[in-house]
Amino acid sequence: KLAKLRGLDIGSLQLAVVTTAKYFIPHLIGEFYERHPHLDIHFRVGNRQQIVDYTGEDDDDFYVFSHPPKNQDLELVEFLPNRLLAIAPEKHPLATRKNISLQEFADCPFLRREEGSGTRHAIEHFLQKRHVDPKIRMTIESNEAIKHAVMSGLGVSILSEHTLAFGGRSGLSILDVDELPIVTHWYLARRKSRPLSPAAQKFLEYARNLEKVPLGKLL
Ligand code: PGA
């Protein structure tokens, strides 16, 4: 009943975000929530493919991707850079080196995300364009598990800086590999055919103003 009253008061907001965005979107929501403390917010997380599938269901007001699908019905707001960094265990021989070549990095056993992951898609695209073939050691369905696998010495990887900034990076080194980081951007997406609720309208204005916020402010 309370939720219903709250709903009448200001409304609800439903968001679906990719796994790497789950580290910083809650921080943005924190600030937004302070301005609209009666808002009823629902938040779900999946890999890129799962969020693409959700766009077909019309349950969510907004989606957050770094690689939005080509869908005419999606309106996109580009709002923050997303850098993908090369990581290795702290004691790795490359950890103290400068200007590591991409080939040398690719010769290390690589831990990759699952099929359907936007991070994996970005890395594959980047390496294919440069004709570099990584030595895949393991496929792991979670950023956190990849981080821990890297810490334990299983291999190297490339992950979004957000997973390191908010999820902790003790035991990891960021490698100075030529041409890295891979720079992508986050997009807030909404279906044009879905009517904008008052809460969604406010969130959209808030996100548009964020376009100019330097990442340093969030990290
Ligand atoms: P994902 O998210 O790797 O969890 O799919 C990141 C993205 O879509 O870029």
Over 90: is that where the pLDDT of 136 sits? yes
Give percent above pLDDT 90 in the chain.
Answer: 64
ipTM (interface predicted TM): 0.95
The protein residue whose alpha carbon is closest to atom 8 in ligand 1 is: 118
The per-residue pLDDT for 170 is: 83
Band of pLDDT at residue 10, cut at 50, 70 and 90: low
Calculate how far, in angstroms, residue 38's C-alpha sits from the geometric centre of ligand 1. Answer: 30
CB under 8 Å, gap of 24 or more: what pairs does 119-123 form?
119/20, 119/84, 119/143, 119/158, 119/159, 119/160, 121/48, 121/67, 122/66, 122/67, 122/84, 122/182, 122/184, 123/84, 123/158, 123/182
Residues 17-21 have a mean pLDDT of: 92
194-215 pLDDT, tens digit each: 999 999 999 998 888 875 554 4
- pTM of the predicted model, to two decimals? 0.87
Over 90: is that where the pLDDT of 90 sits? yes
Q: Is the CB of 172 under 6 A from ligand 1?
A: no
